[in-house]
């Protein structure tokens, strides 16, 4: 049986993990490789990217790495060039980079706001700017942008910069999906709900009294299925959207939240 990503060239941004365990980008990169994809693992931390590469190569997969700040135009241009140098094409662009700060309009500093916009939103603009021309020449490509359920609903405390930038990803993706559909390029979003990943634990633990296990227990209880999802739930949803099994799906917001969005916000 053929693997879903057999031979495909895939860029994954945010392909490392900010702490111990599996972040969304790390899991996605490994899963793409397990399904036969050739992965360019991009992360601001070369050490984090190399950890992902080590896992993929130890399993017999193909993975190249690049350290880059995806909020900087020249560095994103280098990502596209590196993918072409290594693989000669780009079949999938997976945008996973994202950061979070807690606070509303008054509590959030201008510096924090600008940083969130640059990392969560401008990075998306730049990766599309440099990768879409490659896909357009190929007349084929798939883009998966990782947003968040927080883009759609209140999550229990002020999370202004994060929610605003993640909401922008939804509109951005739909614009790309419509403009590039005639060129064989699809663009979709994955919206994770409450996830137990390293990126979530540190910025949010203060909002739960500083106790990680207490935070886990409370967040598990908030989920209709009784437990949070993890990076692999996001990775498997992304794999489907990136694969040819989703060849007639574009502009979709795929919610991966164990039913949380079906509850009234509170």
The C-alpha atoms of residue 95 and residue 12 are separated, in whole angstroms, by 6
The C-alpha atoms of residue 100 and residue 11 are separated, in whole angstroms, by 23
Cα separations (Å) of 254 from 6, 18, 115, 151, 241? 23, 24, 26, 12, 9
The C-alpha atoms of residue 50 and residue 58 are separated, in whole angstroms, by 12
Cα separations (Å) of 71 from 49, 74, 98? 17, 9, 11
For 247, which DSSP code? T
Please write down the long-range contacts of 113-119, taking CB distance under 8 Å and 24 or more positions apart.
113/161, 116/161, 116/162, 116/164, 116/165, 117/161, 117/165, 118/71, 119/70, 119/71
The C-alpha atoms of residue 7 and residue 10 are separated, in whole angstroms, by 9
Helix or strand (DSSP H, E) at 92 = strand 92-95
The C-alpha atoms of residue 216 and residue 229 are separated, in whole angstroms, by 11
* SS3 state at 188: strand
Among all residues, which ones are annotated catalytic? 162
């Amino acid at each position: 049986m053929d693997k879903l990503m057999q031979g495909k060239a895939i860029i994954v941004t945010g392909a490392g993990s900010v702490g111990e365990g599996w972040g969304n980008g790390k899991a996605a990169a490994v899963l793409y490789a397990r399904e036969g994809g050739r992965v360019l693992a991009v992360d601001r931390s070369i050490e984090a990217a190399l950890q992902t590469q080590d896992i993929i190569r130890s399993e017999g997969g193909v993975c190249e790495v690049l350290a880059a700040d995806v909020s900087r135009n020249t560095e994103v241009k280098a990502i596209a060039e590196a993918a072409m140098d290594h693989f000669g094409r780009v079949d999938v662009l997976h945008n996973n980079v994202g950061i979070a700060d807690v606070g509303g309009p008054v509590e959030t500093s201008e510096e924090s706001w600008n940083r969130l916009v640059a990392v969560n939103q401008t990075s998306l603009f730049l990766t599309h700017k440099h990768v879409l021309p490659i896909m357009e020449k190929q007349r084929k490509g798939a883009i998966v942008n990782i947003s968040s359920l927080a883009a759609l609903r209140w999550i229990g405390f002020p999370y202004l910069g994060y929610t605003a930038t993640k909401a922008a990803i939804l509109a951005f993706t739909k614009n790309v999906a419509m403009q590039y559909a005639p060129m064989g390029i699809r663009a979709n979003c994955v919206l994770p709900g409450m996830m137990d990943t390293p990126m979530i634990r540190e910025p949010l633990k203060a909002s739960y009294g500083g106790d990680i296990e207490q935070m886990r227990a409370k967040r598990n209880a908030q989920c209709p299925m009784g437990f949070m999802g993890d990076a692999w739930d996001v990775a498997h949803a992304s794999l489907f959207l990136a694969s040819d099994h989703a060849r007639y799906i574009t502009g979709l917001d795929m919610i991966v939240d164990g039913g949380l969005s079906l509850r009234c916000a509170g």
